[in-house]
Amino acid sequence: MIETTLYFGPAKVTETEGPPQEVRVAPAGRADSWARLALALPYQAAVGDEVLAIGEDRLYVIGVLRGSGLSHLRVAGRLRIDAPLGIQMTSQGPIETLAPSVRFRVGTFEIVARRLLESVHDAYRWVRGLFQLRSRRMRMFAESTAQIKAEQAYLTSRETMNIDGKTIHLG
């Protein structure tokens, strides 16, 4: 007669290089053993993660209590997410999107950031109404030509205005 005891509790992941969908865990009060991942979402456990394990002879990981591994959602075709009340993403680390193109169709697009860095090959903007830039200071550099073309143009300075050029054409 073999006596088995049901284990239900935390376990530390000690090894991930084993059979597919299995990790080696160290449950409290039991010897290390291989446990099958039985999670609702795809998760790649990492050494040091704390998981929730259950089982008798065979252990199953049914939850992640403290993890640092990768959750990877992969679908065969296209993916659509509908959330009538909104979607919120929060991360302590960077968020990165890799795609051949990204298109946003929104009523208002607002970016609130401490610093905004943009690096593009070419940039084009079409604004039907007003385009306004408000800044405490502004610098613009062009390696070759800078051109401003308008039906009417105004350049106003409350204090000193400098125009410096080898040749200046007026009119």
Q: What is the pLDDT of residues 132-170, one digit of tens each?
A: 999 999 999 999 999 999 999 999 999 999 999 999 998
What was the pLDDT predicted at 5?
78
Contacts 24+ apart (CB under 8 A), 74-81: 74/42
* Distance of alpha carbon 62 from alpha carbon 43, whole angstroms: 11
At residue 94 the predicted structure's pLDDT band, cuts being 50, 70 and 90, is: very high
Q: Quick check: 49 pLDDT over 90?
A: yes
Determine, yes or no, domain membership for 147.
no
Domain limits for position 65: 7-71
Percentage of the chain lying above the pLDDT 70 cut: 98
115 — pLDDT class (breaks 50, 70, 90): very high
For residue 20, name the pLDDT band (cuts at 50, 70, 90).
confident
In the predicted model, what is the mean pLDDT of residues 120-128? Answer: 95
pTM of the model: 0.61
- Residue 3, pLDDT > 70, answer no
CATH number of domain containing 36: 2.40.50.140
What's residue 4's pLDDT? Answer: 62
In this structure, is residue 55 part of a structural domain?
Answer: yes
Judge whether 164 lies within some domain.
Answer: no
Look at residue 151 in the predicted model and tell me its pLDDT: 93
In-domain check, residue 39 = yes
Is there a domain that residue 167 lies in?
no
Q: Which residue has the tokens 């968020």?
A: 95
59 domain residue, yes or no: yes
Number of domains comprising the chain: 1
> What is the residue whose two structure tokens read 């607002």?
110
111 found inside a domain: no
